[in-house]
Amino acid sequence: MQTKKTTTKEVTKSTPAKKVAKKVVKKAPVKKATKKTVVKKQTKKQLVYAPDHQSFWVTNGEILNSLVALKDALAAMEQEVYSYHAGEAHNDFARWVADVLADDACAVELEKAETPTKAKTVVLRHLRSYHI
């Protein structure tokens, strides 16, 4: 009899390579910095009208009684007339605005204005804070 030779193959199971899970790190979207605007509730001031005896008498004959009248006068004022009231040593407009119309902030800026146009710009800016 013939003996059958049996050969056994050793089957080695290969273990599948471990799958390495890639960690995908998602980047958070970049947020743009935004400025938060704080809305201040500003109450508008009542426009002050000077009584007749405290009105401003301009050398060209105009009589001013409020910031609105001053703005209108400055729009048409000649440099010569402005220089008379707003010279280097004094500024009649600024003093009148502070003392009679009680607007110190406007008066401080008027002191620095060198021309009627610049003074008018200052007055216009401050008129925004008034009820007109």
What string of H, E and C letters represents the secondary structure of the chain? CCCCCCCCCCCCCCCCCCCCCCCCCCCCCCCCCCCCCCCCCCCCEECCCCCHHHCEECCCCCEECCHHHHHHHHHHCCHHHHHHHCCCCCCHHHHHHHHCCCCHHHHHHHHHCCCHHHHHHHHHHHHCCEEC
Percent residues over pLDDT 70 in the chain? 74
Domain ranges of the chain: 45-131
The average confidence (pLDDT) of the chain is 84
Asked if residue 32 has pLDDT above 70, the reply is yes
Asked if residue 121 has pLDDT above 60, the reply is yes
